[in-house]
Amino acid sequence: MNRMEPSCGAVSFSGVCAIVIWIATCASVSAQTSNVPNLNPVELVRAAVTKEVAAAHDTAIKFMFRSRKQTPKLLENKIYVESNEALVTRVVGQNDQRLGPHEERVEADQLAALVNNPDQLLKKQARDRQEVEHTLCILKALPDAFHFEYAGTEDSASGLGKAGDKLVRLKFAPNPSYVPPTRVEQILQGMEGYLLIDPRTERLARVDGTLFKDVTFGWGIFGRLDKGGHFLVQKADVGEGFWEITEMSLNFTGKILLIKSLSIVSEEVFSDFQRLPDNVPFAEGVEMLKSEGVSVARNHHPIETSLVRKD
């Protein structure tokens, strides 16, 4: 997914969503000493953060993949293509059934508008860049934000980690002396949970976090996320040593500008990762999605994915 160098600063509503969605890309520590031989939590997490940052900056690695996203109102089947300019997305089904002619035409028209209107594509690039920038700002800030504690190990599984590797489990809680440098990092002060790291590859396999208190943004003027909000993001080696997000679960409520209610509730499972050439222009990515959509309609009904949720 589009990777670039961050520039920290003021956060927008889309930035808050990006923080919630992508915060699980990494985590770091001001950690407690482990009682496990040869395991230093600080060094392990810092090494994982370094690998995640490097992977985020590697724009040459591109994939096409599918997803199954469940919200309170709808279940959507999607296909994604990572292109040079931005992530290309197309809905190919709803409630595990292919789209009707009208819905297919709407999807095609939306993608055509981006291909044929450079200004719209530039705006999409800017939105994507802002989300990635805020995420990577948090990634680089986290070494000071949390204390970590060793909490055992878990086995890797389908869609989690690298097959055959043992994963280290670390609990995290806020570092009370941490002072967020900008509004972007304020969410970290109210979050606790655990993460899984593959110590052999030094990659993050899962981050599971919960807000144990209300968290305000912009000194409470911009908005608030309510206590009890939860996210889970899971990653796996999808082939050739490349790691991608395979599952994402979000459940947050709150308010924007203390007036408008905010609700982010969704579960999305990603599967069927296919490596693409390093050079994929946006228009070519759109054509790939057209071909895949036709294939789904002709050969795979209802639509399915290969991963299932694991607790």
Mean pLDDT by 10 residues, the chain (311 residues): 48 44 37 48 83 84 94 93 92 88 91 92 86 74 82 95 95 89 78 93 92 77 84 92 93 83 91 94 92 53 39 39
What pLDDT is recorded for position 60? 87
DSSP state for residue 85 in the 8-state scheme: S
* Cis peptide, bond prior to residue 302, ω within 30 of zero: yes
Picking from 90, 61, 85, the residue whose alpha carbon sits closest to that of residue 288 is 90
- Residue-wise burial string across 89-126, b where 16 or more C-beta atoms lie within 10 A, e elsewhere: ebbbbeeeebbeeeebeebeeebeebbeeeeebeebbe
What pLDDT is recorded for position 219? 52
What pLDDT is recorded for position 18? 46
pTM to 2 decimal places: 0.79
Phi/psi of residue 228, nearest 5 degrees? 100, -10
User: In the Cβ-directed half-sphere of 112, how many Cα atoms lie within 13 Å?
Assistant: 7
What pLDDT is recorded for position 8? 57
